[in-house]
Amino acid sequence: MSHSTPAISTCRPAARSAAQASCSSVPGAPGAPSTGPAPPVGKVGGVVLAMGGLRSGAGCPMAAAVSRRLRGVDVTVGQTAHPLTYHARMSRRLPIDQVVLHTYVAMQNLAHGRAVNDIAEEIGKSRFATARMVRRARELGLIEVTAKVPDPVDVDLSARLAQRYGLRSALVVATQSTNATEAREAIARITARYILDDIEEDDVVGFAPGRTLVLASRLISQLPSADIVQLTGVGAPRLEDGVEVISNIGRASGGATYPLYAPALLMKDPRAHVLLQHPSIQRTMRRMDHVVKTFLTIGGWPEASLLARQLTELGEREAFENEGVVAEIGTMLLDIDGNTVPGLEGRFVGISEESLRRVPARVGIGGGAGKERALIATLRSGICHVVITDARCARAALAV
């Protein structure tokens, strides 16, 4: 695609009379017919500028060339700016022709995505000189780059968290609330958006439900056709959570649903395993082997964990806390270093750790007060490719 650009030049003193003659169509210029009070005019290097913007007419090719260069740029002379798309400011460190050229080069690279080599060829400079022009344009404030993420995501924290823990990506919700409910709702909104963007036609998607995913599922009304699989049993006292997530997401996608009508944790009595032989449970367990994407709730121990409540009722929680459990995700209990804590083998109902780690794309979701250590443990475990959390938990994970 051609990007032809007229040459930028200035009218030097030796050519002043010619410039004045060619610019006679500019209101207020020498030789121009009087049409009323002329706007304030400034001259820099012979280039005629009006305070309200660059004035160019058909008879002024030099000014017209600069005007074309400045389309989409805010050029400020004194205190007045011509408001267009990109923001630039005049710098006293550069002559006007270089201000325009530096701004143009930076715009082409940063705003339009053109390669430095391509721009360098156009303006007749080396790629190193062109790259320096982009850098100097930003340093001098000739062009500003502003992130405008439509959703409340902290871009810097997200990038740092992903880099620190080797994630494919991270979404850190920009909420400073210390209220767990408010943080959960904010995370749920971003989670819903991610699910909408991520699920594709014919996917087999697994969900390990929790309160954040329940809220997210209520925000989704339509998805590409996909099969929805429940990855873990339900935990008391919120037995309806798992079923609601699968029901809501399944309704939005229109695909087959595979609910898991079983408790998250079986009793120690061997007779409890008879429940797992039910045809509907066997059907769901078999479908887990085909899951290509998972969305997993991160549970923080003990306050933010339904499983911890169950173990409390069974008189077993203290033993696991003594082993250092700080988090649960899927059917895994994790210590602060991200190691799996054994002890519930054969009693968890849902996808095994081995099967979960074979899933190509795994998203962990959780944040708010009380989830800081749980997030750290999850990140260290390597179980997730993507995490969605809040700024409080992200900072805690970056601080260790």
Q: What is the pLDDT of residues 270-323, one digit of tens each?
A: 888 888 899 999 999 999 999 999 999 999 988 878 888 888 888 889 999 999
Q: Encoding tokens for residue 216? A: 């997210």
Please give the domain boundaries of the chain with CATH numbers for all domains: 13-139 (no CATH), 155-399 (3.40.50.1360)
Indicate yes or no: pTM above 0.85: no
What pLDDT score does 76 carry?
Answer: 34
User: What value does the mean pLDDT take over residues 95-111?
Assistant: 91
What pLDDT score does 117 carry?
Answer: 95
Contact 81, 52 (CB under 8 A): no
Confidence label for 236 from pLDDT (cuts 50, 70 and 90): low
What pLDDT score does 70 carry?
Answer: 38
More confident residue, 243 or 388: 388
Query: What is the C-alpha separation between 37 and 40, in angstroms, rounded?
Result: 9
**Residue whose token pair is 């795994």:** 362
pLDDT digits (tens, 9 = 90+) for 142-182: 998 877 766 689 989 999 999 999 999 999 999 867 788 88
Query: What is the C-alpha separation between 241 and 232, in angstroms, rounded?
Result: 11
**Residue whose token pair is 């390669």:** 115
* Rounded percentage of the chain residues whose pLDDT exceeds 70: 74
pLDDT higher than 90, residue 39: no
pLDDT higher than 50, residue 332: yes
Beta strand pairing status for 204-208 and 41-44?
A: unpaired
What pLDDT score does 78 carry?
Answer: 30
Residue type, 310: Q
